[in-house]
Amino acid sequence: MALNWGILGGSAFALAQMAPAIHSAKGARLTALATSSSDKASAFQAYFPDLRIHRSYEELLEDSDIDAVYIPLPNTLHVEWTMKALQAGKHVLSEKPVAMKAAEIDALIVMRDRTGLLATEAFMIAHHPQWQRTRALIVDGAIGKLVHVQGLFSYNNADQPGNIRNTPETGGGAIPDIGVYTYGSTRFATGEEITTITHADLDYENGVDTLARVEARFETFSASWVNSMRMHPAQMMSFVGEAGVIRLSAPFNAGVFDEAQVELHHGDKVVTVERFPGVNHYVLQVEAFCRSVAEGKPFAWSLEDAQATQSLIDAVYAKAGAD
């Protein structure tokens, strides 16, 4: 039986990516949207004519036909509405970051465990085969002992001062928006946690970080990341070992920024390239969510994972403030 989904808020991202993903995913049925905007409701119904429209978030949560909700609201609202959805008996997939501070996730974990519902963060890249392959290559020793990880993710929205990513009231900033990917993917691929943030140099505009240069030590390797909302669009992740290098060409917006490819550099200038065309990690994420609810299958990214990444983010801000 398909899981009936509702979406809290008519965001542009939900319309462009997650609503189509829910609609296309096996085991899922896009059923309802909560928005007080007639224009946003019409935009969704143009693609999904049978979509039920609720004029408030509370009204959708009271809808007994809804089994699960997707929350694409501004960052500062994720904890509040994830908690309310769980209290209403709904499974929850919240956009990242699920919270603005790691400690805020404690209450969500307690409520998740109390209700027995699935609640997690929409860290879609964990479901992409390029990342599962990268993790397997590292574990299998394809590059020998891992020495250093380097990550970059950037775009430029300087011409959008009203964008929620550029306003502190909505939890904006380069780190909450895209640092979560460079930091979280490092943790996901290696299975390790930071021991210390050694350097954090942040540029701010209007109270939000727009450029973050960060260096860290993990248990057995070092890492350096750059994230910016004031640079030309770019993204890459590299895992450098004693015997080789793994490089991902489109680690975060696979199929949009570029084709997903995992390059393995090893031996005497030997390069092996694995390609993953046509993979939609948003659809895979929804399908994995539905399987977890219906069959109890493990889900690749838990609230505990989200909390560990948020702890890293908290440490970055603390280091930047200390410096």
CA distance 20 to 71: 15
- Using omega within 30 degrees of 0 as the cis cutoff, is the peptide bond preceding 72 cis? no
- The helix or strand, by DSSP H or E, that contains position 306, with its residue range, turns out to be helix 303-322
Going by pLDDT thresholds of 50, 70 and 90, the confidence category of residue 267 is: confident
From the candidates 26, 96, 101, 269, give the one annotated as an active-site residue.
96
CA distance 181 to 189: 12
- Using omega within 30 degrees of 0 as the cis cutoff, is the peptide bond preceding 298 cis? no
- pLDDT above 90: percentage of residues in the chain: 98
Backbone angles phi, psi at 6, to 5 degrees: -125, 150
Q: What is the pLDDT of residues 144-167, one digit of tens each?
A: 999 999 999 999 999 999 999 999
96 classed as catalytic: yes
- The helix or strand, by DSSP H or E, that contains position 237, with its residue range, turns out to be strand 230-241
Looking at this protein, which amino acid is placed at residue 306?
A: A
Q: 230 near 158, Cβ under 8 Å?
A: yes
Q: What is the pLDDT of residues 116-135, one digit of tens each?
A: 999 999 999 999 999 999 99
Residue 49 has pLDDT above 90, yes or no: yes
Q: What is the pLDDT of residues 214-249, one digit of tens each?
A: 999 999 999 999 999 999 999 999 999 999 999 999
The whole-model pTM stands at 0.96
Q: What is the pLDDT of residues 283-318, one digit of tens each?
A: 999 999 999 999 999 999 999 999 999 999 999 999
Q: In terms of CATH architecture, what is 125-279?
A: 2-Layer Sandwich (3.30)
| Annotated domain spans of the chain | 3-122, 125-279
- pLDDT above 70: percentage of residues in the chain: 99
Task: Please report, for the chain, how many H helices and E strands are present, in that order.
Answer: 11, 14
- The helix or strand, by DSSP H or E, that contains position 134, with its residue range, turns out to be helix 129-139
Q: 157 near 163, Cβ under 8 Å?
A: yes
Taking residues 163-188, what's their average pLDDT?
A: 98
Output the CATH code of domain 3-122: 3.40.50.720
Residue 323 has pLDDT above 70, yes or no: no
